A and B are shown apart, each in its own frame.
Chain A
């Protein structure tokens, strides 16, 4: 095989892997949008908040220690040296569930039947609150997150592919981050679990009923509010998974919340209401972005077109299919 072809394959593979990361974030959006019709802009900050909390629990930081120290002149730091990652993850999940309950209680309950744009703005407000509270609780310094997922380039793949290039050419093998492979495995596992859950359990079926028709679901005795808490907790959980993945890769810091902006084109490409759409949209965007960066960006000799290329792709796509790839067909009646 020629080096160009191998490079192309490597780019596509890397694109698919980073696409999975986008899908993880988009998945949380879709769940909430389906169940409560809320376009949850706070999903990215959810991931940041979950990652911060996870690191905080893991290292035994005292919440709000900065604030308390500043106000009362005390010197709190940590109350226990370190705990096992699984315990920390469990505690974080509990926190996300409590968070979902609080959000339903204090925000969603009061905004039922408002215009979608108002709900959207409320989630932007929520994003600000969570970002501020997260920083106040755990401090805003960049943190290292390590829950034991291996990362770094895969030596095995590099060695396996080095011989594929034709004789005499300079080729050093493919580079793929092991972390991304793990992310893929986890995402596949998550989506399968989600599919089984929504097909075969009572709560899952209630969830689908609510997604189909709020009023009909209410009339057969499904409690909307319980479902909402449930869905928000679930997307909090997905946000945590995304937060772990992105946090392991680039450290836990404010920029983590910006992955929400990365997930938006995935959403419009895949459709707001479709879980398979989120996955496939993510893969398409991931591959498209990486290819564009290397082939178009290299051609024009200006970098960083990744920032907008995904949006551009989604936009072009929308012109042909305004509801996204798998979105519900828009039917307009007068």
Chain B
């Protein structure tokens, strides 16, 4: 009885097509946004920002990107790390080449550059399918990481091969660099995630999103009803890479500040975790991208706190335990709920709707 739609009539097409058709959803989302924009910035401290909130937002962005490609368009990609590296390095090059450019603009241009690279590496998808494609996307991962590691132009010939962010401001407040206050970096990421999150949600609900899903469900049938596979697959690659590129850009500029490509964008550091996020969260679900990102960001912190601080294991042993538990959880999750956390949420909603009656 809590989550009931009774009495909420829709009299226009607009209200029927709303993202949140129910009053309860609207209110809950509005409260969430108010808290996120007007409460959290005042209470956030450096630990919360660095360990939880900013990584969560960045990974959500990457997860949305991969979900567009894998969840909605059905093209499995293991090259997320490579594309994030493109975002990060284009940000670095833009920052050093055009010192006066606004940071917001730099991040978005990095997204577009990554989209171009994404189209390039999406070309094989027209011919190769399934696992063959998944392995083929690994080519982009290894090639891009190698490129940024071996061609000195990308890291401005620095001796260590590291790239380091310089300070950039928005409205006079630094958002990148060591001096940036916690609330500024948080709000910067949050704004981007909210804006592009809505953009993604709307794309998915419109013609382009429906054609992605048609390709995912059955590409030949989709082609017969007039969905062009070339345009659809490449647009999925482009838009997905755009999001992943922005995530990579933020990962470098806002979150890490300085990084080395082989370490930070390794397949085990980015590509697989982001894939877990969308699978644990729910393939083909916007909510799932966020839930999955939250799960993957929070789990290691909880595990570490529990094992090192409570049980008193050494950090190395705790790390091994973490890997084991991590894998176990993944397997258990896939067995118990292959449709992810988003499905659990919709089951919970159904339960709330009927409560307190059993059916």
Contacts and interface: CB of A to CB of B under 8 A. Distances in A.
Interface in B102-143: 124, 127-132, 134-136, 138-139, 142-143
Contacts of A322: 127-129, 132
Nearest to A135: B320
B326 A265 contact: no
Interface in A25-45: 39
A126 B139 CA distance: 23
B317 interface: yes
A121 B330 contact: yes
B331 interface: yes
Interface residues of A, number: 54
A175 B329 CA distance: 47
Interface residues of B, number: 49
Contacts of B320: 132, 135-136, 140
A307 B146 contact: yes
B314 interface: yes
A314 interface: yes
Contact of A121 (B149, B220, B279): B279
Interface in B295-324: 311, 313-314, 316-317, 320-324
B305 to A, nearest CB: 18
B275 interface: yes
Contacts of B220: 332, 334
A66 B321 contact: no
Nearest to A319: B127
A289 interface: no
A234 B276 CA distance: 29
Interface in A298-320: 302-305, 307-308, 311-312, 314-315, 318-319
B150 A303 contact: yes
A125 B131 contact: no
Contact of A132 (B218, B272, B323, B338): B323
A268 B334 CA distance: 26
Nearest to B130: A116
A272 B334 contact: no
A125 to B, nearest CB: 3
A132 B324 contact: yes
A126 B327 contact: yes
Interface in A264-318: 264-265, 267-268, 272, 302-305, 307-308, 311-312, 314-315, 318
A117 B324 CA distance: 21
Given A268-B132, A318-B124, A312 B323 contact: no
B43 interface: no
A124 to B, nearest CB: 6
A314 B334 contact: no
B335 interface: yes
A318 B136 contact: yes
Interface in B262-294: 267, 272, 275-276, 279, 283
Contacts of B139: 265, 308, 311-312, 314-315
Contact of A128 (B143, B267, B330, B335): B330
Nearest to B330: A125
Contacts of A118: 279, 334, 338
A127 B327 contact: yes
B131 A116 contact: yes
A135 B321 CA distance: 9
A318 B127 contact: yes
Report, nearest first, the 6 A-B pairs whose CB atoms are least far apart: A128-B327, A132-B324, A125-B330, A311-B139, A129-B327, A132-B323
6 contacts: A118-B334, A118-B338, A122-B334, A265-B135, A311-B135, A314-B139
Given A121-B276, A265-B139, A268-B132, 17 more contacts: A70-B317, A107-B331, A111-B334, A118-B334, A122-B334, A130-B327, A131-B323, A132-B326, A136-B317, A140-B320, A265-B135, A307-B146, A308-B146, A311-B136, A318-B128, A318-B132, A319-B127
Interface of B: 76, 124, 127-132, 134-136, 138-139, 142-143, 146, 149-151, 218, 220-221, 224, 267, 272, 275-276, 279, 283, 311, 313-314, 316-317, 320-331, 334-335, 338
